[in-house]
């Protein structure tokens, strides 16, 4: 077994927590590690969004950030070395495992399967074009969200 330095991205959340009914809060930092910068940024956005809606949390957005860093990790040469060093049962992760869909992706896929193509129904909504669902027109303004 050797040791090596690996790049990680550290998400630092700077927040001030106030107990219920109190007007004074206590500042604290929460740190999480991610392998990819995109994952770190996504978690930062989601956590800031959720914490902003809490009644007893104030997030300092200027101090909340994703920073590249490095961590020293144990590197094993073989699976046998891992088994010898590990106190608990260890299994090899599946390399070709299909990514599991979250509930919104799963609901979207189910709806796609139940809709006909827009060409088949002469553009009558609801219908689908590829993976895009076309809804019937309404009086309400619709916001389109796109994952970058």
- pLDDT value for 141: 60
- pLDDT value for 95: 65
Q: Are residues 71 and 110 in the same domain?
A: no
Q: Is 35 within the bounds of a domain? A: yes
Q: Is 143 within the bounds of a domain? A: no
pLDDT in tens, 31-70: 888 888 999 999 999 988 888 888 778 888 888 999 998 8
Q: Which domain holds residue 126?
A: 103-134
Q: Is 114 within the bounds of a domain? A: yes
- pLDDT value for 100: 66
Indicate the number of domains in the chain. 2
The number of residues in the chain equals 148
As a whole number of angstroms, the distance between CA 40 and CA 4 comes to 22
User: Residue 148 — very low, low, confident or very high, per pLDDT cuts 50/70/90?
Assistant: very low
Residue 20, classified by CB atoms within 10 Å of its CB into exposed (0-12), middle (13-18) or buried (19+), is exposed
**ω before 129 within 30° of 0 (cis)?**
no
Cα 134–139–140 angle (5° rounding)? 75
Q: Are residues 6 and 46 in the same domain?
A: yes
- pLDDT value for 144: 53
Q: Is 80 within the bounds of a domain? A: yes
Q: Are residues 34 and 107 in the same domain?
A: no
Q: Are residues 122 and 57 in the same domain?
A: no
């Amino acid at each position: 077994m050797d040791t090596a330095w690996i790049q990680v991205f550290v998400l630092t959340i700077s927040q001030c927590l106030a107990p219920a009914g109190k007007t004074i809060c206590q500042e604290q930092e929460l740190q999480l590690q991610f392998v990819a910068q995109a994952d770190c940024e996504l978690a930062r956005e989601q956590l800031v969004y959720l914490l902003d809606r809490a009644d007893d949390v104030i997030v300092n957005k200027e101090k909340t950030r994703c920073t590249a860093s490095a961590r020293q990790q144990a590197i094993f040469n073989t699976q046998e070395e891992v088994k010898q060093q590990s106190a608990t049962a260890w299994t090899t992760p599946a390399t070709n495992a299909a990514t599991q869909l979250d509930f919104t992706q799963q609901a979207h896929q189910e709806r796609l399967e139940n809709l006909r193509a827009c060409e088949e129904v002469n553009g009558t909504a609801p219908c689908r074009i590829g993976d895009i669902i076309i809804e019937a027109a309404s009086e309400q303004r619709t916001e389109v969200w796109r994952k970058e």
